[in-house]
Structure 1
Amino acid sequence: MIFINKGIVKNIISRRDDISFVEIDVDGVTTKAINYNEITGEINVDDVVYINQTARNLNLGTGGYDFVILNTKYDNINSQKIGHIMKLRYTPMQINVLSVEEQDSPYHDMFNNFKDLDGMPVIVGELHSMLAPTAIVLKKLKPSAKIAYIMSDSACLPISFSNTVSYLKEKNIIDSTITMGHAFGGDFESVNIYSSLICAKEIVKSDVAIVAMGPGIVGTGTKYGFSGIDQASIIDAINKLKGNPILIPRISFNDKRKRHIGISHHTVTVIELLNSSCNMIIPTLKNEKQLILEKQLKENHAFDKVNKYFIDPKIASDILLGVKDLKFTTMGRTINEEKEFFDACGAAAIYCSKLLGID
């Protein structure tokens, strides 16, 4: 199923290098849309375009945007990118990139000579909303730490869509981005999680990597039907390459869905599927909320597979509350509404900072 409509560009809301946010008139109705400049060309007022409105018609959460798929003013588009690895393969929008592993890459031989991650900490989170609080706290505690963000292809594919990544790069909080699988647009492109981790260690020379999907997790209300399930294979990959996996548990006490209260069933399922182990960092909470977490950890023997560390998140909480130019939200809820969610991110950052022998 796909919904495509024709419209006229009425306003340019904002632009970045790879992306434009615009307003389009479709049969007298104004709609917001996104134009990926390197795919459909630069866009301007009065351009006649075709837009994909499928998610809007289904009332899905793509940030309230439609997507430009064709600008009629162009007879052809040639972005002249080098590289022979295709992303979005076998779709009308497939693009070529220079992946770090391919033979034309200056880093090609590095992958054949790679040994291991030598214990490099790798923080693994389910949601894109975990990236900013984790990275900000870690950078505040360890200003000289070199942080790489690895974006998986389990949600949004173009990294340019993320305002969070744009902010973190602009503020020099994350030092480099790696887009793996069909995700694209990072500072470095890779084919899979193994190559991404090697890139973070050997090419970027990172002290720590954070792995999480882009915006827009898929969920179905079933045990295995969510795209964040890839955390299990990511953690196993980190262990196979002799890294140090640090898992951020998804914690909520304000979600209307009971399966996400306390430690989310998503985190439980990921741990059940692990073929290895990891360090799961849990924020120390107050009163009944702490008792709920402890009860979950005691009664569900899946948690026996992982190393559990309780960390007081107060320092992290203070850091995040001091950030005034970025609004922290998860699932549409603010840091005040989901304090424990962000405490979990901060606790993981605190734990990781203690592992880094810098500053």
Structure 2
Amino acid sequence: MIEIKLGKVLEVNMLDEAISILTVEIAGEKYKAINYNYLTGNIGCGDTVVLNTTAVSLGLGSGGYHFVITNYSRPERDIDNKGHIMKLRYTPMQLKVMAVEEQQSQYHDKFNKFTTLNGMPVIIGELHSMLAPSCIALKYLDRDIKISYIMTDGAALPISFSNVVRELKKDGILNATITVGNAFGGDFDAINVYTGLITSYAVSKADITLIMMGPGIAGTGTKYGFSGIEQGYIIDAVNTLGGIPYLIPRIQFGDKRLRHKGISHHTITVLSEIAKTSCTVVIPKMDKRKMDYVHSQIKESHIDEKHNVIYEDGSFLADANKYFNYNFSTMGRGYAEEPEFFNSCAATVLAAYKKYKTGGNLHV
């Protein structure tokens, strides 16, 4: 069941092609709301809207937003005749996109002719909070490097929900976005992770690809019950297509939950059980006490017997962010509280960049 309320739009606080950020009134109270223009059309002050208020009522991590289901004041919309692939399939909100690989697409033949990613480094992360530090670290190392981001459908489905993506694109740090599965709204929409990877290499011509879910993550405190488990089969997909997978380990010491101390149990489960092929796991340099703890986790889980575990110094991220000036946070904690988390991103980027530099022109 979903909770539904009627509201009136008081203000349109932000508007672009994909999303409208609103202030709405419900029973005399003001709330934040989001309208996805691709789903529910244009919106304006004074419009009466039907809102999904479930997440806010439950206190879940939607950012405190209600979501527009439909606009009573503008109920009818038309579609164009381009593309026929549906996302959010068989729901009242299903929408049509032009998938990059479908027959009508100008890029269709690239998928038929594709043979290999030709050793393109692919950096795989669990949390959306890994995206900005990874992109910034890459651009700090090489201003001309071309970065694509593949957003999976493990969390938020509209890429326009991500303020981080919007800022990275605006600042020219992130060059292309690709949404796969039921995620939608990227520069390119693809049907699955495999065609998303091919899109990054053959269509957007990325030098390095980042792949991780959008804002949010589902977790239950059980061994396998978290949406970040997708990292395992992403590793396998990258290997199948001839790329080189690098996994950002989720390393935290500021989280009070023991299961996330040091290397998170999410990362350990993915690497020890879910991934059927190997990847490179980059551990950031840290103080001896923390390093000893992480090293013991690696040995106990036998990760180093299955994967290539290496060590890099990711502390250059602090200088990188002095230049780019982004506000990093994960689970409400910033760089000062969780340096190992963010330095893991930069350390992984550094290792992938070194491989890229020795790989020559991957697109020849």
Cα drift, residue 110 of structure 1: 1.5
What percentage of aligned pairs have identical amino acids?
A: 50
State which drifts further: 75-84 or 90-99. Answer: 75-84
Q: Which segments of 5 or more consecutive residues in structure 2 lack a partner in the other structure? A: none
1:339 corresponds in structure 2 to 339
Comparing 123-132 with 34-43, greater Cα deviation is found at 34-43
Three-state SS of the structure 2 residue aligned to 1:333 is coil
Q: Which runs of 5+ in 1 are unaligned?
A: none
Equivalence for 2:316: 315
Deviation at 1:79, TM superposition (A): 4.2
Matches within 5 A, 1:116-127: 116-127=116-127
1:95: how far off? 0.5
RMSD (Å), alpha carbons: 1.3
Equivalenced residues, count: 358
Instruction: Compute the displacement of 1:349 (Å).
Output: 1.1
CA distance in 2, matches of 1:183, 1:114: 23
Say which is worse superposed, 287-296 or 177-186, in terms of deviation: 287-296
The aligned runs of 1:1-359 (5 Å cut-off) are 1-80=1-80, 82-271=82-271, 272-324=273-325, 326-357=326-357
Change (3 A) 1:90 1:157: same
Structure 2: distance between partners of 1:196 and 1:336: 34
Q: Which moved more, 1:309-318 or 1:222-231?
A: 309-318
* Alpha-carbon distance between aligned partners in 1 of 2:171 and 2:243, rounded to the nearest angstrom: 27
Which amino acid is the alignment partner of residue 298 of structure 1?
Answer: K
Give a deviation string over 1:233-259, Cα, whole Å, max 9, x none: 000000001100000000100001110
What one-letter code is carried by the residue in structure 1 that aligns with 2:248? Answer: I
Cα distance in 2 for partners of 1:144, 1:318 equals 18
CA contact (8 A) 2:55 2:66 kept: yes
CA gap 1:323/1:142 in 2 versus in 1, 3 angstroms: closer
CA contact (8 A) 1:316 1:350 kept: no
Deviation at residue 218 of structure 1 after TM alignment: 0.4
Deviation, 1:77, is 1.0
- How far apart, CA to CA, are the structure 2 residues paired with 1:110 and 1:287? 49
The separation in 1 between residues aligned to 2:348 and 2:97, in whole angstroms, is 33
Deviations 1:115-165 (A, max 9, x none): 111100000000000001001110110111111000000100000110000
* Matched-pair contact (CA < 8 Å) for 1:284–1:311: yes
Task: Measure the CA separation in 2 of the matches of 1:316 and 1:239.
Answer: 28
Q: Secondary structure at the match of 2:35?
A: strand
Q: Which residue identity lines up with residue 223 of structure 2 in the other structure?
A: K
Distance in 2 between the 1:202 and 1:101 partners?
11
**Separation of aligned partners in 2, 1:206 and 1:15:** 29
Equivalent-residue separation in structure 2 for 1:321 and 1:338 (angstroms): 17
TM-score, normalised via structure 1 length: 0.97
- 1:305 and 1:45 mapped to 2: Cα distance? 57
Further displaced range: 88-97 or 33-42: 33-42
Is contact 1:148-1:208 (8 Å) kept? yes
Structure 1 outlier segments of 4+, above 6 Å: none
Letter paired with 1:301: H
**TM-score between the two structures when normalised by the length of structure 2:** 0.96
Query: 1:183-238 deviations in whole A, cap 9, x for unaligned?
Result: 00000110001101111111111111000000010000000000010000000000
Counterparts of 1:81 and 1:270, CA distance in 2 = 41
